[in-house]
Structure 1
Amino acid sequence: MDNQFDLIFYDRFFNWEVMAGSYIVKNSKFSVDFLTEFSNYEQKLPKGAHGSDNGAIHLFFADKIFPGDLEVDTCREVYYNSWNSADLSAYTGCIRGILGSRTDFGNIRIMKKGTGWSKDDWLTSGLWNPARDFMLHGWKTKQLKTTPSDVLKPIPMKYDQWYNPLAGPIVVERCFIGNTSWSYTPRLLGDRKQIDESLMEYARKVDKEKAKSLGRLSLILENP
């Protein structure tokens, strides 16, 4: 935790959203006020496709960082006239265009794609490396699959499945502070360089998709 910042967020990897469901918070007045105000933002959500907290966090950020900005108002109009996931993607792209490539905004930091503390492991077919991966995100018990017997490559697989990285079954009762006796299956321990290269290739794809989504902005604004 960098003491310069009260709140640290990170870019989601598989799209251009700021991750709203996981963040690091310093116990400060700024953080309490920020999160309290954001928790009440549901009263301002549009009637159409709003993306819940994942959608709202972008406009909330922009209003905090650039209050009264005309470009933000344009993105706001897009948000309040979004009716499907494509519209919502265009809206988030609109906001990210205003934020630019910066990471630091006063008391807030938004870590760049691939540098955060959590990763959806479907992006690399369940392969991970302890030198780069701290947390793996997106697991649901009903989506747990048997690890394939063939050699896995660090490429995207279906997002609604995951493999157990432990050498044995997951026993929740053993998940307590102080237990460091974890044994991992070597079959899911991937080469860091290969994982990084695969993720970079995927990041390029996402960036191109974001650019394409911006072409939808004029359609939304012209047909509210």
Structure 2
Amino acid sequence: MAQTDRISVLLVEDDVAARATILEILAGAGMAVEDVGDGAAGLHRAGSGDHDVIILDRMLPQLSGIEIVTKMRMAGVGAPVLMLSALGRSEHRVEGLESGVDDYLAKPFEPEELVARVRALWRRASSRSHEPVLLFGDLECHVKARTAFRQGRHLALSPKEFDLFRYLMDHAGEVVTREMLLRHVWKLSFDPQTNVVDVNVGRLRRKLEEGFDTPVLETVWGTGYRLIARNARGGG
């Protein structure tokens, strides 16, 4: 994805080596990064309104990442938050998301995925998800034409599969629950007690992944589904 605007990132990470690595990754992607090493400083800077995206380590001295984002949301700070953690089990992800985190990335992670997650959060926060073409990893969603591509290859989606793909692309890199899909894709305010979501996700997954080397649609067991970024050559 061509990056024309400089994304401003606040990084709150106490591990010196990890902080240096993340700084190098984000700076290499053309982002402007301010970094701090403890929770109290992170909360103070998060309230400044100076940053497009905030990256929080989960385990921090003074205040944890969960405590920071909880206090941020209570204070009305709406900047999107990506939480990093070695605790990658679904219950840890759910706890983070329920506290107000917008996305959750388990350590260790690929540099390309970190950059893709930050860009996805930035796009959504700046309303770029309403542009005619949505880009995530090697996926493209042409909104007005209602067409989908992976690595430039056209994917023949049914109307409902496209609606599902569009919603997942609008929330690329985030966990999307069955309830969210029923509400926004099927326009249902109740669970019809059928497997309509699972069947359609399965069909979409086959079309997104058949003939490619790597998966892009992840099942987060007990929670929902998530698009994961792959580069244009199909690698991770």
Please confirm whether the aligned pair reaches a TM-score higher than 0.5, indicating the same fold.
no
Higher relative contact order (CA 8 A, sep 6+): 1
Higher strand proportion (structure 1 or 2): 2
Higher helix proportion (structure 1 or 2): 1
Query: Who wins on radius of gyration, i.e. which is larger?
Result: 1
Q: TM-score, normalised by structure 1?
A: 0.26
